[in-house]
Every structure is written in C-alpha cells, then in structure tokens.
C-alpha cells in the first residue's frame, strides 16, 4: 500500500460521515427525530462505521490500488410515519446524501485549486485530490436507482402510487444486483460513474479527472 493511498482514508471517512449526516439532518427537518435520538446526526465518524462497508471493502480497494475508493456507512434510520409527506419527503432525504457528497467534493475542489497555486505535491494536495474523487464517486454511485442506493429512494418517490408496489417487490434483490454489477457488470457502472466524475472533477477543480488522479499517483 503506497503512502498516497493511505491519504485516502481521512477523506473517505469524512465523505461517508457527511453523507449520513445529511440524510439524518434532512429527515429531522421533515419531522423524523429518529436519527437524532440514535446519535446519528453527527460529524463524528465512529457512530456511522459499518465493519464491511467502511473498513473491509475500502481497505481491500486501497491495498489493490484501485483508482476509486467506494464503501458505505451504517444507513441512517428513518421512520416514514414521522414524516409530514412520506412520499415527497423520502425523495429529499434520499437525495440529501449524494448532494452532500457533491458539496463536499466542490469545497475540497476549491481548496485544491488554491493549494495547486503553491505546490502540486504533498500530503494536503493528495488528500484533497482523493476527497474530490471519493466525493464524486459516492455521489454518482448512490444515484444509481438500485436498492438500497439512494437513487432507489428517489425513483420510488417519483413513481406513481400504482407502480410503487411493483417496484418495492424487487427491493429485496437489490444487493444481488449490486453484487452482479461489482463482479461482471463493472463496465455498466463505468459508463455512468466515469463521465459523472470526469465532468464534475473538471467543474470543481478546473483540471481533468486524469490530472486529479495523477496528483494521487495513479
């Protein structure tokens, strides 16, 4: 494992924490205090850590020097019965995570732009480059409409009532579909994630995705 990859750990933990924090905060705004009561509306990463999604999978990706680090935290609990308009509110709650990751990547991208005026190397530059890439990958991947990803919650809320029940029947197959995408469907993921990361990387940093990956050492 290279030193550059070790610098991926802090931004990865922060990106996941910001993602779950946003879910809980927006749920509370719409009337559900469940996340607050369970101590999940916090920027402390510890309450959000999932052993597999936050530790094992990311560690494996870092060890194999994957250009993209992906994982997940423990989902923030949401009780739809506490929401004022469950169907509408769940759209915004689901959208909050990817939007938070976009904002995270945007802020880190601005700081990276300033940092590059002084140096194109060093731990800060590497960490900021990782933060941009990780934030964008998490935002893009979570927008895919497959349960339990956030895109599924957004799509479900947008579907007419008569179609929601049919869609809900396929939710239990979500992890199987995701496993298939990770094993044999990676080109399908790349078709969506890579252009998304490339466009927003350029918008947020003024540099191409390949330049930002070069800062990381990939």
Per-residue pLDDT of 110-142, as tens digits, reads: 999 999 999 888 999 999 999 999 999 999 999
Q: Which residue has the higher pLDDT, 45 or 68?
A: 45
pLDDT at 8 over 50: yes
At 139 the pLDDT is 96
* Active site residue ranges: 20
Which pTM was predicted? 0.90
Output the pLDDT for position 1: 46
Identify the weakest region by mean pLDDT among 114-123, 139-148, 155-164, 205-214.
155-164
Average pLDDT over residues 157-176: 80
pLDDT, average across residues 136-157: 91
How is the chain split among helix, strand and coil, in percent rounded to 5?
70, 0, 30
CB-CB contact of 43 with 73 (8 Å): no
* Structure confidence at residue 72 as a pLDDT band (50, 70, 90): confident
Q: Whole-angstrom distance between the N-terminal and C-terminal Cα of the chain?
A: 12
Distances (CA, A) of 96 to 21, 35, 39, 100: 9, 14, 18, 6
Confidence of residue 6 (pLDDT cuts 50, 70, 90): confident
Q: Which phi and psi angles does 187 have, rounded to 5°?
A: -60, -30
What H or E segment, with its residue span, contains residue 105?
A: helix 86-116
């Amino acid at each position: 494992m290279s030193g550059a990859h070790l610098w991926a750990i802090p931004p990865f933990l922060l990106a996941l924490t910001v993602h779950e924090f946003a879910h809980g905060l927006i749920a509370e705004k719409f009337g559900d205090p469940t996340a607050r009561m369970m101590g999940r509306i916090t920027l402390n990463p510890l309450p959000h850590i999932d052993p597999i999604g936050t530790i094992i999978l990311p560690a494996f990706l870092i060890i194999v020097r994957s250009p993209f680090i992906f994982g997940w935290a423990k989902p923030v609990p949401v009780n739809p019965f506490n929401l004022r308009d469950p169907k509408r509110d769940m759209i915004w709650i689901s959208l909050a995570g990817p939007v938070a990751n976009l904002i995270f990547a945007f802020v880190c991208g601005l700081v990276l732009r300033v940092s590059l005026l002084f140096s194109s190397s060093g731990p800060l530059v590497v960490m900021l480059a990782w933060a941009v890439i990780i934030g964008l990958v998490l935002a893009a991947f979570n927008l895919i409409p497959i349960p339990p990803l956030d895109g599924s919650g957004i799509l479900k809320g947008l579907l007419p009532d008569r179609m929601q029940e049919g869609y809900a029947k396929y939710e239990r197959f979500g992890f199987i579909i995701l496993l298939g995408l990770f094993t044999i469907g990676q080109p399908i993921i790349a078709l969506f994630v890579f252009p998304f990361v490339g466009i927003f990387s350029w918008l947020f940093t003024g540099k191409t995705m390949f330049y930002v990956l070069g800062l990381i050492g990939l």
